[in-house]
Amino acid sequence: MHREKKIIHRDLNPSNVMVDHKLNLKVADFGLAKAITNSSQMTHSFVGTLVYSCPQIVQNQLYNEKADIWSFGCILYELLTLKAPFTGTNPLLLAKNIVNK
């Protein structure tokens, strides 16, 4: 997706990852995706599902396609442990827990 299609998804979460009958992974919902125009491009907008967001997004810093890798890691963690990778009783505490990983 990043190299071939030159796209950052920016909202990877369990509901946007599908598995077909041959166990192939499919990514859906590209509504918040952004095109990458060069290999070192960084972007700067707060989008996506907070619990799967990387610390850079939470802190409103520049980020690149590695934000999707972070989100995918959070999805894998949740699949393996059956619990969210980060928790908080409110969005501010959740954001703090993500940043303080």
The one-letter amino acid at 51: V
Dist CA 10 CA 19 (whole Å) = 19
| Residues contacting 22, CB < 8 A, separation 6+ | none
Pairing of strands 7-8, 34-35: antiparallel
Q: Which of 11, 20, 29, 68 is catalytic?
A: 11
Is 11 labeled as catalytic in the residue annotation? yes
Catalytic residues: 11
